[in-house]
């Protein structure tokens, strides 16, 4: 559990900033360029994946990214066709807010033998999909009804269930391109009740909001969309600095 232990150590000191790279629309050169800019701008780690792939370039881009950066590279699988040895670890997501058995356990069963074959570190992740004001790809592709954004009590119960089931991290996601990120109130309600590290993503558009979510109790802030269209190294650095300013 090398990467998981590293995440725990990071979370003890300060909030961390991860970038999500969706490799689908990138060629090898673009994927490497984005990954390097992230590393040089202070990003703590990369998630690679997406909820939908049209181009068959996941593994090629992942391998290129892994070979060109030193920060941890984690697979963030939408569906578990995306198991590959070219990563430091894989977030083994179960969409615990879903009642779709394929997303709760079916995909993971398909992935497990390959994870073993590659001796890949799998980090059991209680993935919670939160209503976000619009219908995002992950809502649609996972066939899951998101958890209502104002129902903190239901969110706490799900996060606790994830913890008691032995999962290693909570991932609170409003979905890529979310209109509204997960609320500060929901993050702090979960933080007060659950000991696991919290990863938070979806709809984070400014460094200020990223820092606010970290202050509310999220340990790892993830952004994806801000990397698309004209990646701005200065903005990435502002995100990293804002998130890193939140100490524990
Ligand atoms: C990762 O879904 C997020 O969990 C990424 O969201 O693309 O909206 O930043 P954005």
- Cβ of residue 224 lying under 6 Å from some atom of ligand 1: yes
- Domain count for the chain: 1
CATH code, domain with 194: 3.20.20.390
Q: Ligand 1 atom closest to Cα of 177? A: 8
Report pLDDT for 55: 75
How far is the C-alpha of 33 from the C-alpha of 16, rounded, in Å?
A: 21
Residue 71: domain span: 2-244
Report pLDDT for 24: 82
How far, in Å, from the CA of 190 to the mean position of ligand 1? Answer: 19
Report pLDDT for 25: 81
Query: Which positions of the chain have pLDDT values less than 70?
Result: 52-53, 80
How far, in Å, from the CA of 222 to the mean position of ligand 1? Answer: 6
Report pLDDT for 80: 67
Report pLDDT for 78: 75
Per residue in 47-63, pLDDT tens?
A: 999 776 677 889 999 99
How far, in Å, from the CA of 113 to the mean position of ligand 1? Answer: 28
- Cβ of residue 137 lying under 6 Å from some atom of ligand 1: no
Report pLDDT for 137: 82
Length of the chain measured in residues = 248
Q: What is the largest CA-CA distance in the chain?
A: 45
Report pLDDT for 135: 82
Q: Minimal CA–CA distance to 15: which of 167, 209, 210?
A: 210
Report pLDDT for 33: 96
- Cβ of residue 50 lying under 6 Å from some atom of ligand 1: no
Full 3-state SS string of the chain = CHHHHHHHHHHHHECEEEEEECHHHCCHHHHHHHHHHHHHCCCCEEEECCCCCCCCCHHHHHHHHHHHCCCCEEECCCCCCCCCCCCCEEEEEEECCCCCHHHHHHHHHHHHHHHHHHCCCEEEEEEEEECCCCCCHHHHHCCCCCECCCCHHHHHHHHHHHHHCCCCEEEEECCCCCCCCCCHHHHHHHHHHCCCCEEEECCCCCHHHHHHHHHCCCCEEEECHHHCCCCCHHHHHHHHHHHHCCEC
- Cβ of residue 27 lying under 6 Å from some atom of ligand 1: no
Per residue in 7-18, pLDDT tens?
A: 999 999 999 999
- Cβ of residue 197 lying under 6 Å from some atom of ligand 1: no
Q: Ligand 1 atom closest to Cα of 174? A: 2
Closest Cα to atom 2 of ligand 1: 176
């Amino acid at each position: 559990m090398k990467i998981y232990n590293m995440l725990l150590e990071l979370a003890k000191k300060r909030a961390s900033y991860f970038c999500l790279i969706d490799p689908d629309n990138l060629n090898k050169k673009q994927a490497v360029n984005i990954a390097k800019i992230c590393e040089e701008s202070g990003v703590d780690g990369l998630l690679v994946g997406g909820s939908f792939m049209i181009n068959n370039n996941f593994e090629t881009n992942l391998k290129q990214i892994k070979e060109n950066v030193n920060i941890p590279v984690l697979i963030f699988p939408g569906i578990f066709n995306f198991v590959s040895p070219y990563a430091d670890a894989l977030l083994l997501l179960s969409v615990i807010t879903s009642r779709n058995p394929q997303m709760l356990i079916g995909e993971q069963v398909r992935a497990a033998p390959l994870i073993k074959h590659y001796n890949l570190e799998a980090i059991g992740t209680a993935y919670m999909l939160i209503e976000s004001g619009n219908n995002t790809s992950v809502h649609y592709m996972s066939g899951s009804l998101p958890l209502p954004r104002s129902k903190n009590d239901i969110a706490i119960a799900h996060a606790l269930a994830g913890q008691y089931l032995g999962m290693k991290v909570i991932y609170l996601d409003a979905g890529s391109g979310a209109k509204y990120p997960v609320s500060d109130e929901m993050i702090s309600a979960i933080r007060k009740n659950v000991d696991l590290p919290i990863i938070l993503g979806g709809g984070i558009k400014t460094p200020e909001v990223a820092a606010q979510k970290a202050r509310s109790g999220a340990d790892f802030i993830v952004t994806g969309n801000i990397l698309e269209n004209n990646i701005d190294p200065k903005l990435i650095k502002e995100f990293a600095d804002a998130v890193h300013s939140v100490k524990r």
